[in-house]
Amino acid sequence: MLKERCEKLMAALSEHGVDGAIITSRTNIRYFSNFTSDESVLIITDKRRVLLTDFRYTIQANQLSAPDFEVIEVSRAIAASEIASVLTEMGVKKCAFEDGYLTVRAFNSYRELPVELVPMTPVIDGIRLVKDEYEIEMLKKAQSIADAAFAELITVIHEGMTEKEVANELDHLLRLHGADENSFDTIVGSGPNGALCHATPGPRRLQKGDLVVIDFGARYNGYCSDMTRTIAIGEPSDELRKIYNIVLRAQLSALDKLRPNMSAKELDTIARDVIAAEGYGECFGHSLGHGFGLDIHESPYASQRSDDTLVPGSTITVEPGIYVEDLGGVRIEDDCVLTEDGYIDLASTTKKLIVI
């Protein structure tokens, strides 16, 4: 699997006349080598693959990355001279690097390397766009953990709990059901705080009539899930229920039209038009969705500014929302994987408004 990923990378880079790559971002290091520490550098060519790391991680590197990668022990702070030595030995002349992830200090040191450096972040990241069978299975598992944790959460959540208590309980349940960690910090916004798209859970207590936006995800073997459900504490007002139904209709409309090889912008438009037609267009200010995998936010992106295409094997969240200041908010989000003839919705949790 690792060899095939590296071969795919070099095939893409060779189209730009590049004969080697330096990989430094933690996500791409994991993707290409299976190594999970950021204290490392990968150097990849058509004929050879090298992982540089220090004494603390050499055993781990050999366990995770060999024989696909040759592990070379270097100093704790990997010096540019050590990278230069390997590049020279491997005969690299024109080398791709991840300009999107380097600090200015690191870039200045890399400018001394004996190669022509070519910034290629979009090409390197693009190798991860289409998920293989293993990745899809990991994403399914991450989502199943999130579904199970949420199912248990709604049996214990109640009026009077603080947003922070809800978040802490959900984080605990994610781990009980098998998550290695959260995909991102859990979002809980109750009542008027639901209008904050990325509300930080705080001391506000859940009250009757509240809608509560809960956005969370599980990370499993490095792969992320991302889902949002909005629940009610007691019967919500007519306006809040109306908003919920509009968001639900927007999401279902987008899911109904979701298909492989459609433009991501078109998908965004489908949901956005439903919300705008009801007079809430200005209350939906974020994009409809994003890809997910080893990172919680990856290409493609479904927005009005996107030029991305939803190809088979790519992932996309579908998460329309309405946010009304001083009233509250609603967001409903599912994880989807495009297939050759449709898509798989990884989420199994009901979209029907849950009233606690």
Percent of residues in the chain assigned helix, strand, coil, to nearest 5 = 35, 25, 40
pLDDT at residue 219 in the model: 98
pLDDT bucket at 66, cuts 50 / 70 / 90: very high
pLDDT tens for residues 181-191? 999 999 999 99
Phi, psi of 120 (to 5 degrees): -140, 30
Mention every residue, 6+ apart, whose C-beta is less than 8 A from residue 145: 174, 177, 178, 179, 218, 220, 225
Q: Is the pLDDT of residue 77 over 90?
A: no
**Domain spans of the chain?**
2-126, 133-345
Q: Could you tell me if 258 and 331 are in contact, meaning their C-beta atoms sit under 8 angstroms apart?
A: no
Q: Is the pLDDT of residue 314 over 90?
A: yes
pLDDT at residue 38 in the model: 78
Counting residues of the chain whose pLDDT is more than 90, the rounded percentage is 94
Residue 14 region, left (φ>0) first, then alpha (ψ -120 to 50), else beta?
Answer: alpha
DSSP for 73-115, please give it: E--SS--HHHHHHHHHHHT--EEEE-TTT--HHHHHHHTTSSS
Regarding predicted confidence, which is higher, 77 or 67?
67
pLDDT at residue 195 in the model: 97
Question: What mean pLDDT comes out for the span 306-335?
Answer: 98
pLDDT at residue 207 in the model: 97
Q: What CATH class has 133-345? A: alpha beta
pLDDT tens for residues 222-261? 999 999 999 999 999 999 999 999 999 999 999 999 999 9
The pTM for the full model equals 0.94
Distances (CA, A) of 70 to 97, 142, 278: 20, 31, 59
Distances (CA, A) of 176 to 145, 146, 171, 172, 332: 9, 11, 9, 6, 24
pLDDT tens for residues 163-204? 999 999 999 999 999 999 999 999 999 999 999 999 999 999
CATH no. of 2-126: 3.40.350.10
pLDDT at residue 37 in the model: 84
* Of 217, 343, 225, 339, the residue nearest 293 (C-alpha): 225
